[in-house]
C-alpha cells in the first residue's frame, strides 16, 4: 500500500532532508507497517488529482479530498500533533472527548506545564489586572456556522460589560475598510474599548480572554487565563462557552473562573495529542490512522 503525504514547499524540503522530527517518525512508522511513503508538494492541481490516485493520502492542515485521506496539523505547539479525518478543529476527536482531571497526577502535570511555559512563553509571572483581551481572527462582520455571533458583535457585547477591553487584529488576516469602520464605530461608542495592540504582550497581564476560537486562548491557559469562547474549538473543555451560558453570565463568571490549567494542558497535549519526541509516538500515529479508517 502507498501513502502520499502532501506538504507545502518548506515542509516538503524538511521532510525530504530528514530534518522534520514528526515526519521522520511518521515515515518510519508507515514503512515499518509495510507501506510505501511518497512526499508530494501540495497544490490545487495535486489536491484535485489526489482522489484518482491509488493508495492513501495525508494532507497538512488541509481538508481531506476523499474517503482515503486524512489531515494532520500541529496541536498548537511543537512537538504535539493531531491526525484527523476532518480539517475543523472543533470536530477533532479531542473535542468530543471528556476531560477527567481526577485521572492525572498533579505533580506530573505541573512539571509538564512548567517546562512548556518556560519554552514557549518565557517571561515574568502573569498578572490579572489588565483589560479583557479580545483576539480577533478573520471574517469579522459575519456569523459563521461554528460561531454564536459575528466577531464584531462579540466585541460589542464584551465592551458592554463596562470593563476595559482591547480587541487586537490578527497579523495574517486581511481586513476590509468596512471591518475597520465597524471596529472604529464600536470604539467611538464605548470609551472602555481599544482597538489594536500587541496580543502576546497583552495576554500576560489581561484579566481573561474573550474570543471565537483563537489559539491565543489556548496560550492563555499556559498563563492561567480563563477563556470565554463565542465559537466552537477543540480546547473548549475548561473554557466558558457562550453557547451554553449566554454572553453576560459567561463574561461575568470569567472574573473568578480558575480551572486547573496544568492538568488540562497535560491531558490535551500529552495524553490526547501525539508527542513526536516520545517513544510511543509511532504507535500513536498508526492508531490515529486506524481510527481514521485506514487498514494499517
How much is the average pLDDT of 26-30? 98
| 79 cis-preceded (ω within 30 degrees of 0) | yes
Tens digit of pLDDT for each residue in 142-192?
Answer: 999 999 999 999 999 999 999 999 999 999 999 999 999 999 999 999 999
**Helix (H, G, I), strand (E, B), or coil: what is residue 74?**
strand
Tens digit of pLDDT for each residue in 238-279?
Answer: 999 999 999 999 999 999 999 999 999 999 999 999 999 999
Q: Give the per-residue pLDDT at 105.
A: 97
Average pLDDT value for the chain: 97
Tens digit of pLDDT for each residue in 75-117?
Answer: 999 999 999 999 999 999 999 999 999 999 999 999 999 999 9
Task: Take residue 127 and report the three cell numbers written for it.
Answer: 498578572
> How far is Cα 219 from Cα 224, in angstroms, rounded to an integer?
9
Task: Take residue 172 and report the three cell numbers written for it.
Answer: 495574517
H-only helix segments in 190-280? 199-205, 215-222, 242-245, 247-253, 261-265
Percent of the chain with pLDDT over 90: 100
How much is the average pLDDT of 55-80? 97
Q: Structure pTM?
A: 0.95
Task: Take residue 147 and report the three cell numbers written for it.
Answer: 460561531
Q: Give the per-residue pLDDT at 129.
A: 95
Q: Looking at the DSSP assignment, which residues form a beta bridge with residue 83?
A: 72
Q: CATH 3.40.50 residue ranges in the chain?
A: 101-268
Task: Take residue 126 and report the three cell numbers written for it.
Answer: 502573569
Positions of E strands within the chain:
2-7, 36-41, 56-60, 69-74, 80-84, 132-135, 165-168, 193-195, 209-211, 227-229, 240-241, 274-275
208, 134 contact by CB (below 8 A): no
Q: Give the per-residue pLDDT at 102.
A: 95
CATH 3.30.1370, applies to 101-268: no
> How far is Cα 257 from Cα 251, in angstroms, rounded to an integer?
10
Amino acid at each position: 500500500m502507498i501513502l502520499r503525504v502532501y506538504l507545502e514547499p518548506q515542509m516538503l524540503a524538511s521532510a525530504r532532508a530528514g530534518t522534520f522530527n514528526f515526519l521522520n517518525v511518521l515515515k518510519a512508522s508507515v514503512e515499518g507497517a509495510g507501506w510505501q511513503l511518497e512526499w508530494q508538494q501540495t497544490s490545487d492541481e495535486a489536491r484535485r488529482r489526489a482522489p484518482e490516485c491509488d493508495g492513501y493520502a495525508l494532507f497538512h492542515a488541509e481538508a481531506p479530498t476523499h474517503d482515503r485521506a486524512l489531515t494532520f496539523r500541529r496541536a498548537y505547539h511543537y512537538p504535539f500533533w493531531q491526525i484527523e479525518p476532518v480539517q475543523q478543529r472543533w470536530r477533532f476527536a479531542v473535542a468530543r472527548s471528556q476531560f477527567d482531571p481526577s485521572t492525572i497526577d498533579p505533580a506530573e502535570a505541573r512539571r509538564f506545564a512548567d517546562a512548556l511555559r518556560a519554552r514557549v512563553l518565557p517571561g515574568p509571572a502573569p498578572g490579572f489586572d489588565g483589560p479583557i483581551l479580545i483576539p480577533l481572527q478573520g471574517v469579522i462582520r459575519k456569523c459563521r456556522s461554528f460561531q454564536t455571533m459575528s466577531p464584531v458583535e462579540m466585541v460589542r457585547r464584551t465592551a458592554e460589560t463596562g470593563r476595559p477591553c482591547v480587541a487586537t487584529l490578527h497579523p495574517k488576516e486581511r481586513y476590509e475598510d468596512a471591518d475597520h469602520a465597524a471596529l472604529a464605530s464600536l470604539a467611538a461608542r464605548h470609551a472602555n474599548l481599544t482597538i489594536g495592540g500587541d496580543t502576546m504582550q497583552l495576554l500576560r497581564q489581561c484579566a481573561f480572554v474573550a474570543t471565537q476560537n483563537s489559539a491565543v486562548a489556548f496560550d492563555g491557559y499556559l498563563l492561567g487565563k480563563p477563556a470565554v469562547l463565542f465559537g466552537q474549538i477543540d480546547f473548549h473543555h475548561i473554557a466558558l462557552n457562550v453557547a451554553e451560558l449566554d454572553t453576560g453570565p459567561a463574561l461575568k463568571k470569567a472574573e473568578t473562573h480558575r480551572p486547573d490549567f496544568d492538568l488540562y494542558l497535560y491531558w490535551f497535549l500529552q495524553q490526547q495529542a501525539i508527542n513526536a519526541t516520545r517513544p510511543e509516538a509511532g504507535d500513536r500515529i498508526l492508531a490515529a490512522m486506524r481510527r481514521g479508517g485506514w487498514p494499517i
